[in-house]
Amino acid sequence: MAKFLIEGSYNPEGAKGLMKDGGTGRKETVEKMVTGMGGKIEAFYFAFGQHDVYVICDMPDAVTASAIAIAVNASGLVTISTTVLLTPEEVDQAVKKSVNYRPPGK
């Protein structure tokens, strides 16, 4: 499974929904959505700052993560961005691959 970081920001109507559902209610809803798509939540946090919620989860693939992002963003109440996370071992594999790249102007 692939690991993803999801960062979410509520708009005012979404924040009203959060106030109604509560933090644990929203976490349960998100967990149900993720597990229903074959994934698993590793961590779920609300925060102050640029984003309101951070979720680290395992998903079967990028297509599944994209389907979740599209559905959540289409609600219009929360905007999420999804980042693929790599393990140190995956980075080890990446740095061993030969890449034929020419920088601009070289």
Residue 30 pLDDT grade (very low, low, confident, very high; cuts 50, 70, 90)? very high
> For residue 19, what pLDDT is reported?
97
The pLDDT of residue 106 is 85
pTM: 0.89
Q: All domains of the chain, ordered by start, with CATH?
A: 2-94 (3.30.70.1060)
Q: How many other C-beta atoms are found inside a 10 Å radius of the C-beta of residue 22?
A: 10
Contact status, residue 106 vs residue 26, Cβ threshold 8 Å: no
Cα dihedral sign, 11-14-18-24: negative
pLDDT digits (tens, 9 = 90+) for 44-56: 999 999 999 999 9
Q: What is the pLDDT of residue 50?
A: 95
Per DSSP, 78 falls in state E
> 86-106 pLDDT, tens per residue?
999 999 999 999 999 999 998
Place of tokens 């993720």: 34
